[in-house]
Amino acid sequence: MKYCPKCGSPNVEWVLPQTWSRWRCKDCGYEGALIIEDGELAAEIRKKYKDKKG
């Protein structure tokens, strides 16, 4: 499973399926090459992101 490095959401997709190096998060709008595959790390990121947003 893939997760957003900014908010920890699993709601990510390739910008263009032909270019695996660009991802977009549908929850926070992140767009870039970095993607998280560790579910535990994503859960920590998600918690911190939600705490910060209030």
Q: What is the pLDDT of residue 13?
A: 93
Count of Cβ atoms closer than 10 Å to residue 9 Cβ: 19
Residues 1-54: tens digit of each pLDDT: 999 999 999 999 999 877 668 999 999 999 999 999 999 999 999 999 999 987
The pLDDT value recorded for residue 21 is 83
Query: Which residues neighbour 44 within 8 Å (Cβ) at sequence distance 6 or greater?
Result: 8
- Type of residue at 40: E
At 26 the pLDDT is: 97
Nearest-angstrom CA–CA distance, 54 and 41: 20
Give residue 32's pLDDT: 94
Question: In the 8-state DSSP scheme, what is residue 32?
Answer: E
